[in-house]
Amino acid sequence: MCERINGGKTTVYTRPLARLIEQFQRLPGIGPKTAQRLALHIIKRPEEEVQALARALLEAKKQVGLCQVCFHLSAEPVCEICRNPQRDRETICVVSDSRDVIALEKTREYRGLYHVLGGVISPMDGIGPEQLTVQPLVRRVSQQQVKEVIIAVNPSVEGETTTLYLGQLLKPFTRVTRIAFGLPVGGDLEYADEVTLARALEGRRELD
């Protein structure tokens, strides 16, 4: 980071600036040029603005945990979706990640609850059902009044494995469906547009 010039003692960035650039570079998708640009921007902003960003970082990290029921990100022990009396409590949509909950919520098509697995089954990476929130899902489905479980994981090999596995596991208790392949195979649920996602929800079919 502190590149040295001609063997002299001068560094390109003054220390605190170099440290900030280094910190920015640790963020995903931020390269050296962007990190420098962000750091120089920060230095030019009023102190209150920089404090607001620092505070938001610390508070988000400190306050946001996982919902005890569905494992979605939440600042409370039970998330806003699980607590909302207007949601349909007899439908659970199973996703691999909190980002997928956010993407589905943006469609404004879905009124049920969620269950965040925390990943997909991937034996190559050592991820089996024990590493995911499969057991709490089975408990929810077997102990509560659940009419339908909609499986909405990415259409990858691991996603297919996960879908089939969960289908076998949950069919004794309830109806199990999966979202339709409205999204391009090999694509990422997080990046699908809202219309495509809404259609995928509509066209869901029984697991056979």
Binding site for a second copy (CB under 8 A): 3, 5-6, 8-17, 19-20, 22-24, 26-29, 34, 36-43, 45, 47, 49-64, 73-76, 79-81, 84, 86-87, 98-99, 102, 105-106, 108, 111
CA torsion, ordered 12, 18, 21, 25, to nearest 10 deg: 100
Query: Which CB atom, from 56 or from 195, has the smaller least distance to a second copy?
Result: 56
Query: Which CB atom, from 89 or from 167, has the smaller least distance to a second copy?
Result: 89
User: Alpha carbon of 155 to those of 34, 37, 68, 149, 174: distances in Å?
Assistant: 33, 37, 27, 17, 22
Report in angstroms how near the CB of residue 82 gets to a second copy at its nearest.
Answer: 10
Report in angstroms how near the CB of residue 194 gets to a second copy at its nearest.
Answer: 11
Query: Which CB atom, from 22 or from 148, has the smaller least distance to a second copy?
Result: 22
User: Alpha carbon of 137 to those of 98, 156, 189, 194: distances in Å?
Assistant: 15, 21, 21, 26
Report in angstroms how near the CB of residue 92 gets to a second copy at its nearest.
Answer: 15
Task: Report how far apart the first and last C-alpha atoms of the chain are (Å, whole number).
Answer: 56
Report in angstroms how near the CB of residue 73 gets to a second copy at its nearest.
Answer: 6
Query: Which CB atom, from 51 or from 142, has the smaller least distance to a second copy?
Result: 51
Query: Which CB atom, from 105 or from 206, has the smaller least distance to a second copy?
Result: 105
Report in angstroms how near the CB of residue 105 gets to a second copy at its nearest.
Answer: 5
Report in angstroms how near the CB of residue 57 gets to a second copy at its nearest.
Answer: 5
Query: Which CB atom, from 80 or from 206, has the smaller least distance to a second copy?
Result: 80
Distant-in-sequence, close-in-space partners of 24: CB < 8 Å, separation ≥ 6: 30, 34, 35, 38, 39
DSSP secondary structure, 2-61, as one string:
-PBPTTSS-BSS-HHHHHHHHHHHTSTT--HHHHHHHHHHHHHS-HHHHHHHHHHHHHHH
| Tokens 């004794």 -> residue | 172
